[in-house]
Amino acid sequence: MLLDDNYSVIMAGGAGTRLWPFSRQSHPKQFHDMLDTKRTFLQETVARLEGICPKENIFVVTNVEYRQIVKDQLPFLTDEQILLEPFKRNTAPCVAYATYKIAKKNPKANVLVLPADQTIDEVDLFQKTLQTTLAYATAHDSLMTLGIKPTRPDTGYGYIQYDTEQTESDIRKVRQFTEKPNVEYAKLFIDSGDFVWNAGIFIANLKTMQNAIETHIPEVAELFAQAQADFYTSKEAVAIEKAYSHCRDISMDKGIMEKAENVRVVLSTFGWSDMGTWKSIYEKANKDTHGNSLKGKNILAYDTENCIIRTPKDKLVVVQGLKDYIIAEHDGVLMICHIDEEQRVREFVADAKEKGQKYI
């Protein structure tokens, strides 16, 4: 396996509504440093790809309005490495666009697709897992995905059931995908011992990925095959706008992975979290002896436990008598919400829109 044949596609076009008010339409979560690491989620994702593929083989797929943010955060990228989506169409068109673009450049490529908003605890183990998976994908006609061995019955993740008959390898045949379950089903999945969390990371050699797109979402394949002639030219943006305007909204899981027979999951233990909610940020963030995660220059907390507080550096914030709350202020919006009610954030955003577009 040649390193130069490995390509990484980072999906960075989502709006991240559930992390409002920090994550906004104009500046979503993947472009923030939510965990005080001095790097944004996007920058952290790129840093983890060291030794996996050359920097010139990294593509970022994002919305056209985020082009400059991506350029600012990843100045090494050329314009050809930033794939601009004119409309939001979910992950399958995103992967199709990148696949057909890479195909024009290197038909022998291996393709790694990953979201821009995840955290990894053991980066070395993560990289080793990717290298093993890429080597397998090079030699096999298999769509690969990474499955995280679950540590709790989490209802916020999708699950993958795998075949338990084969035990000599961590690469297993997939039996089925399951959307986010309720807590009773999640507990059953954990107890059964043959389910893993779906990390939303996809790996395959280019031929396998392209065949899967053509087989399972042929109408999407046709649109990007037509646009491919204009890739790497001044006509690409027009060709992509035409393709996306006719493209349906569909995810990789629904469009391809749940239908394909050649799907394999790699059982993984490198410590993974999807940073989609305030609770997930709280769980990964540093905390004081009272269980509070505080980020702000002047925060005074009294009789306060297990809260996540994110406020501007120039503001003095006094909090008394709260437990298990989110207190987040950013760019003119202050949100105070019990952490167990965080699923209502999307409701808050919808109502805030009526107060003005600038608030969302």
Q: Assign 207 to helix, strand or coil.
A: helix
**Is the domain of 245 the same as that of 303?**
no
**Is the domain of 216 the same as that of 350?**
no
Please give the tally of structural domains in the chain.
2
Separation of alpha carbons 86 and 70, rounded Å: 15
Of 258, 274, 290, which residue sits at a domain end?
Answer: 274
The Cα angle at residue 81 between residues 34 and 108, in degrees rounded to 5: 120
- Residue 334's domain comprises 278-359
Of 274, 294, 321, which residue sits at a domain end?
Answer: 274
**Is the domain of 208 the same as that of 268?**
yes
* Token couple for 117: 């908003």
Of 249, 274, 299, which residue sits at a domain end?
Answer: 274
**Is the domain of 295 the same as that of 175?**
no
**Is the domain of 118 the same as that of 241?**
yes
Model pLDDT, residue 2: 67
**Residue with the two structure tokens 């070395």:** 124
**Is the domain of 255 the same as that of 116?**
yes
Q: State the CATH number of the domain containing residue 126.
A: 3.90.550.10
Q: Which candidate, 197, 200, 204, places its Cα nearest to that of 147? A: 197
**Is the domain of 325 the same as that of 261?**
no
**Is the domain of 319 the same as that of 287?**
yes
**Is the domain of 128 the same as that of 245?**
yes
Strand partners, 145: 202, 265
Is the CB of residue 12 less than 8 Å from the CB of residue 42? yes
**Is the domain of 255 the same as that of 329?**
no
Distances (CA, A) of 6 to 53, 110, 199, 204, 243: 5, 5, 20, 10, 26
Cβ count near 139 (within 10 Å): 9
- Burial track 22-36 (b if 16+ CB lie within 10 A, e otherwise): bbbbebbbbbbebbe
**Is the domain of 258 the same as that of 286?**
no
* Token couple for 58: 């990294």
Q: Which candidate, 261, 165, 151, places its Cα nearest to that of 197? A: 151
* Token couple for 112: 């790694």
List, for the chain, all residue ranges whose pLDDT scores fall below the cut of 70.
Answer: 1-2
Model pLDDT, residue 154: 87
**Is the domain of 232 the same as that of 299?**
no
